[in-house]
Amino acid sequence: MRVGALRETAIGEHRVALDPEVVVRLVKDGREVVVESGAGTAASFPDASYERAGAQILSRAEVIATSDVLAVVRCPEASVVSALRSDQLLIGLLDPLNNLPVIETLAAKRVTAVAFELLPRTVSRAQSMDALSSQASAAGYRAAIVAAEAFGRYLPMMITASGTARPASVIVIGTGVAGLQAIATARRLGAVVTGYDVRADSREQVESLGAQFLTSSITAGAGEGGYARAMTAEEQAGQQAELAAALKSFDVIITTAKVPGRTPPLLVSAETLAALKPGSVCIDLAASDRGGNVAGSIDRERVVTPGGVIVVGAGELAADMPTSSSQMYARNVLAMINDLVTDDAIAFDLADEVRSAVVLCHAGQVTSRAVRTALKLDPVLDPPQDPLHAGQPEVPEAAAAASITIEFDPKNGQAA
Ligand code: NAD
């Protein structure tokens, strides 16, 4: 079985899907590893470090052509997708709900694609594969550092011979994985920190980090799977008004609020920005080409409002801490490979709780319920249409696809 890693090509993406440490572990497990030349350079892993770990350095085309399992960080570009062949396994943060045509193409090419975004994160077996959390954690940490760097004042209280500086007040809006890490880091930097979220259980998590919790009238914000639900228009308006009044007094605002598959909610309006003190800083971790939590934030850009507020669009902040982020991500990839691949074969029991969620397409079909719903296909989970359920006598072909084993010829790494 040959595992490959490609150089990432998205603008500003410095991470890599495999690091040398994970290569050592893959090789120890009897896998061959191939890495595109230069894939790890931006994450401070030169080609030589992969070679020392036991990987072979190849060209991009060679990695694509010869890998059985291709690990990526972000959804690959069209030229890679079109070069993939049947029975290859693609693993990454494929952002499936925003890349539906790509998933359809992968299905048509009979590639098996796995997206970390759809992992059932609360299942204990899945936690070592939780790339959303590992990357959110890095992004949250980094958000506090970027805020400290952009802010023109001290974050901690400073008592010096030249006078005393009061500590900065920081609010973190959205206290999931990234938000809690941002709170912890801002506290370590000495700021006075407040957290805010619409999920009722977030108060306890915020307070356990020694931060205050901003109480809001919107408390029933939890939706499916522990995620926030989308607010109604009325709730959104009420929330914006409440936040506008509260946010004026903060020096630094870090926003991380997301609702899966939806446009991020706008939480810091243009009016709120205009009311902030000059020199205040907003770090928007939800910034994307679909909008963000802060009015006017542009991903990967730093803009200064006419009122002197610094707005940093930081939708992929983990990519700016590429060494640690890649090390964590590579461990998630390793855990996923070890879960999916046994005895040198990709063995899928797609009725399994984790696999049925993360496998987007397999054996020529879109298998993920979330993706099928987004594509307006019949939801898969009701037999007899369901290719995930093996052994349905009514649909022998689909049933055969459900529990498929792809054996690999150890000599050439190709499906036998
Ligand atoms: P996320 O990235 O989807 O969103 C970030 C935060 O924004 C969330 O806390 C969300 O509630 C909040 N948010 C969304 N809309 C908001 C709004 N309008 N106003 C204020 N806040 C808003 O979140 P995440 O980090 O992926 O975490 C989602 C959930 O999954 C959390 O409950 C987290 O504790 C849970 N989780 C559990 C595990 C586990 O059990 N192993 C692992 C990771 C995450």
Note if 372 is an active site residue. Answer: no
Which CA distances in Å does 106 have to 57, 76, 197? 26, 11, 37
Ligand 1 centroid, distance to 408 Cα (angstroms): 39
CB of 122 shorter than 6 A to ligand 1:
yes
- For residue 378, the model assigns a pLDDT of 85
Ligand 1 centroid, distance to 228 Cα (angstroms): 6
CB of 173 shorter than 6 A to ligand 1:
yes
For range 312-318, the mean pLDDT: 96
- For residue 409, the model assigns a pLDDT of 41
For ligand 1, what atom is nearest to the CA of residue 132?
26
Label the pairing between strands 158-160 and 163-165.
Answer: antiparallel
Alpha helix (H) residue ranges in 17-77: 20-28, 47-53, 60-66
Nearest Cα to Cα of residue 183 among 217, 147, 153: 147
Q: Which residues pair with 212 in a beta bridge?
A: 194
At 346, give phi and psi (nearest 5°).
-85, 110
Q: How many degrees, rounded to 5, is the angle at CA 57 between CA 53 and CA 63?
A: 120
The span from the CA of 170 to the CA of 373, in Å, is: 39
The span from the CA of 75 to the CA of 115, in Å, is: 9
For range 382-394, the mean pLDDT: 40
Q: Do domains 2-130+321-389 and 139-319 have the same CATH topology?
A: yes
The predicted-structure confidence for 212-240, as pLDDT tens digits, reads as follows 999 877 766 666 766 777 778 888 888 88
For ligand 1, what atom is nearest to the CA of residue 256?
5
For ligand 1, what atom is nearest to the CA of residue 124?
41
From 88, 133, 280, 356, the catalytic residue: 133
**Are the CB atoms for 173 and 254 separated by under 8 Å?**
yes
- Average model confidence (pLDDT) across the chain: 88
Ligand 1 centroid, distance to 163 Cα (angstroms): 41
Is the confidence at residue 163, as pLDDT, over 80? Answer: yes
> From start to end of 11-149, where are the E strands?
32-36, 56-58, 69-74, 89-93, 112-115
Is the confidence at residue 391, as pLDDT, over 60? Answer: no
- For residue 402, the model assigns a pLDDT of 42
Superfamily designation of domain 139-319: NAD(P)-binding Rossmann-like Domain (3.40.50.720)
CB of 198 shorter than 6 A to ligand 1:
yes
Locate the domains of the chain by residue range: 2-130+321-389, 139-319
Indicate the CATH number for domain 2-130+321-389.
3.40.50.720
Which CA distances in Å does 222 have to 19, 175, 198, 229, 231? 36, 12, 7, 6, 10
**Ligand 1, from 128, 129, 172, 198: best to mutate by most atoms within 8 Å of Cβ?**
198
Nearest Cα to Cα of residue 107 among 348, 346, 362: 362
Compute, in degrees rounded to 10, the torsion defined by CA atoms 406, 410, 414, 416.
-50
Query: Count of residues for the chain?
Result: 416
Is the confidence at residue 412, as pLDDT, over 80? Answer: no
Between 33 and 350, the higher pLDDT residue:
33
Which residue shows structure tokens 């007094």? Answer: 249
- For residue 235, the model assigns a pLDDT of 83
Note if 127 is an active site residue. Answer: yes
The predicted-structure confidence for 233-291, as pLDDT tens digits, reads as follows 888 888 888 888 899 999 999 999 987 777 889 999 999 999 999 999 999 999 998 88
Please give the DSSP secondary-structure letter assigned to residue 76. Answer: P
Q: Which amino acid is at 219?
A: T
CB of 58 shorter than 6 A to ligand 1:
no
- For residue 220, the model assigns a pLDDT of 64
CB of 228 shorter than 6 A to ligand 1:
yes
